[in-house]
């Protein structure tokens, strides 16, 4: 969706706040956005498949509307099967920035491995949407991996990066966003822009969202619980009664992905106990997997570039030893909007260390980022990129591409 109204970025907001302390300024700027959305026709849209724990036999299908659908029903069948089955539909109603959002969700289980699944959504006896996807074959995996997609203004840059990546990789079954999907996680405008820019490119790929710090900001840029992010996407449960969807893990092909929450600065006070329970869960999660490859996905990087002077993030002392002891093969991070690749053990440069990949930038916010002593590969700050990950039982390969498909960096791991 496009709009004639400007988005208010954190940068613009801070500058505006300095110029005027008037409390009504933000409200005056944002209220036209609400009016712009008010007349949108309600219909099912943004059909998506969010990763399940085991994507060979399970899937979570979600879609949205701006008004309640009458008597929604979900049906599915395997493309080579005849019997159509019905699955329950759950509705979650909430508001973002005052705007109503109805998220419908169906958790499918008992799916056949490596098969095409055809789905249909009816409302009041009429078909209002169709969706088809392939279940994981359990043997191989190709993923598209996107660094921060947050944009100031509109999301044209993100739409171009993910659109070109998607067109070049029709065989990628998995799609990972490394966090900071949007610039402001409480803004209806930002989510609307992001979803409109993402929808067609994402298609039926399994979607794995990593929570970033920008998902944890209110409209006035205070730290807040990431309510919109949590309500929009339902990745697998983690067993926590309080902090489900804050961190999770899933399997795709031969890879076990562990998705960690690194928003300690934003959430430590708002979500007491989150980080201690995640630390205990991480040990259990890595001990339980039998997959040959293990990849950790973290939004924040090992280096805290916001600190003065620049320093290691405290999680280098807490999470990194657990990741390495738990047999993790690669660690991916984001947040800095720059591409760096390191080879590390215990936070130190090592010749045969693990690849730690700071994944780059897929949005229109660019920062000045100093090179660090641990960097093996560093690209310029005005760099836009995406990554692919390809895995089979014996090989795990990460490649970094420009949006136009030019290969800029790669690393390949092998196991026998
Ligand atoms: Fe971030
Ligand atoms: Fe970011």
**Exposed / middle / buried, residue 371 (Cβ in 10 Å: 0-12, 13-18, 19+):** exposed
Domain shared by 190 and 313, yes or no: yes
CATH classification at residue 255: 3.60.21.10
Q: Is 107 among the domain residues?
A: yes
Q: Which of 391, 387, 327 is nearest to 137 (CA)?
A: 391
Q: Which of 64, 45, 244, 252 is nearest to 142 (CA)?
A: 252
Q: Which ligand is nearest to the CA of 306?
A: 1
Domain shared by 237 and 386, yes or no: yes
Residues 6+ apart with CB under 8 A from 236: 51, 52, 53, 248, 249, 250
Query: What rounded mean pLDDT belongs to the chain?
Result: 90
CATH classification at residue 115: 2.60.40.10
Domain shared by 108 and 204, yes or no: no
How far is residue 320's CA from residue 345's CA, in Å, rounded to a whole number?
9
Residues with CB under 5 A from ligand 2 (ion): 148, 180
How many whole angstroms from 58 Cα to the centroid of ligand 2? Answer: 31
Using a pLDDT cut of 70, give the percent of the chain over it.
90
CA dihedral sign of residues 261, 266, 271, 277: positive
Domain shared by 361 and 284, yes or no: yes
SS3 state at 99: strand
DSSP character at residue 56: T
Domain shared by 128 and 178, yes or no: no
How many whole angstroms from 80 Cα to the centroid of ligand 2? Answer: 43
**Exposed / middle / buried, residue 147 (Cβ in 10 Å: 0-12, 13-18, 19+):** buried
Q: Which ligand is nearest to the CA of 361?
A: 2
How many whole angstroms from 297 Cα to the centroid of ligand 1? Answer: 13
Domain shared by 238 and 218, yes or no: yes
Answer whether residue 359 shows pLDDT above 80: yes
131-163: pLDDT as tens digits: 999 999 999 999 999 999 999 999 999 999 999
pLDDT of residue 9: 55
Domain shared by 101 and 148, yes or no: no
Domain shared by 194 and 253, yes or no: yes
Q: Is 179 among the domain residues?
A: yes
Among residues 98, 118, 134, the one where a domain terminates is 134
Q: Is 204 among the domain residues?
A: yes
Please give the average per-residue pLDDT across 81-102, as a whole number.
93
Query: What's the domain range around 349?
Result: 141-414
Answer whether residue 2 shows pLDDT above 60: no
How many whole angstroms from 256 Cα to the centroid of ligand 2? Answer: 25
Among residues 71, 105, 134, the one where a domain terminates is 134
Among residues 109, 134, 159, the one where a domain terminates is 134
pTM, to two decimals: 0.91
Per the CB < 8 A criterion, the answer to whether 361 and 148 are in contact is: yes
Domain shared by 93 and 232, yes or no: no
How many whole angstroms from 211 Cα to the centroid of ligand 1? Answer: 9
How far is residue 143's CA from residue 146's CA, in Å, rounded to a whole number?
10
Domain shared by 114 and 202, yes or no: no
Q: Is 33 among the domain residues?
A: no
Q: Is 197 among the domain residues?
A: yes
- DSSP lists the bridge partners of residue 76 as 85, 119
- State phi, psi for 397 to the nearest 5 degrees: -125, 130
How many whole angstroms from 150 Cα to the centroid of ligand 2? Answer: 6
Per the CB < 8 A criterion, the answer to whether 388 and 144 are in contact is: yes
Q: Is 2 among the domain residues?
A: no
109-131: pLDDT as tens digits: 999 999 999 999 999 999 999 99
Answer whether residue 39 shows pLDDT above 60: no
Confidence band (pLDDT; 50, 70, 90) for 10? low
What is the tally of structural domains in the chain? Answer: 2
Q: Which ligand is nearest to the CA of 150?
A: 2
Q: Which ligand is nearest to the CA of 263?
A: 1
């Amino acid at each position: 969706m496009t709009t004639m109204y400007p988005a208010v970025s954190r940068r613009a907001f801070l500058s505006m706040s300095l110029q005027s302390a008037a409390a009504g300024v933000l409200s005056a700027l944002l209220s036209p956005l609400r009016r712009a959305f008010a007349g949108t026709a309600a219909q099912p849209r943004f059909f998506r498949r969010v990763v399940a724990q085991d994507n060979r036999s399970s899937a979570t299908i979600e879609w949205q509307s701006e008004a309640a659908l009458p008597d929604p029903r979900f049906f599915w069948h395997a493309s080579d099967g005849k019997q159509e089955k019905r699955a329950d539909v759950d509705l979650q109603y909430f508001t973002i920035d005052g705007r109503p959002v109805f998220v419908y969700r169906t958790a499918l289980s008992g799916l056949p491995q490596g098969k095409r699944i055809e789905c249909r959504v009816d409302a009041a006896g009429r078909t209002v949407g169709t969706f088809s996807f392939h279940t994981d074959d359990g043997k191989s995996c190709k993923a598209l991996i996107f660094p921060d997609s947050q944009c100031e203004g509109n999301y044209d840059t993100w739409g171009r990066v993910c659109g070109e990546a998607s067109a070049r990789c029709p065989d990628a079954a998995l799609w990972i966003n490394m966090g900071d999907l949007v610039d402001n996680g409480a803004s209806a405008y930002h989510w609307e822009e992001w979803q409109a820019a993402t929808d067609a490119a994402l298609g039926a790929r399994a979607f794995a969202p990593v929570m970033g710090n920008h998902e944890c900001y209110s409209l006035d840029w205070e730290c807040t619980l990431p309510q919109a992010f949590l309500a929009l996407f339902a990745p697998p449960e983690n067993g926590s009664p309080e902090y489900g969807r804050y961190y999770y893990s899933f399997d795709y092909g031969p890879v076990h992905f562990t998705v960690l929450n690194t928003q300690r600065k934003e959430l430590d006070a708002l979500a007491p106990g989150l980080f201690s329970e995640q630390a205990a869960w991480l040990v259990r999660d890595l001990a339980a997997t039998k997959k040959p490859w293990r990849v950790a996905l973290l939004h924040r990087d090992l280096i805290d570039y916001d600190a003065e002077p620049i320093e290691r993030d405290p999680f280098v002392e807490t999470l990194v030893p657990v990741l390495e002891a738990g047999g993790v093969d690669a660690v991916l991070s984001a947040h800095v909007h720059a591409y760096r690749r390191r080879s590390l053990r215990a936070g130190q440069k090592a010749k045969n260390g693990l690849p730690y990949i700071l994944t780059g930038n897929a949005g229109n916010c660019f920062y000045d980022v100093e090179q660090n002593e641990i960097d093996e590969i560093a690209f310029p700050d005005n760099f836009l990129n995406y990554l692919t990950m390809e895995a089979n039982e014996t090989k795990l390969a990460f490649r970094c591409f420009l949006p136009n498909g030019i290969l800029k960096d790669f690393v390949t791991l092998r196991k026998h």
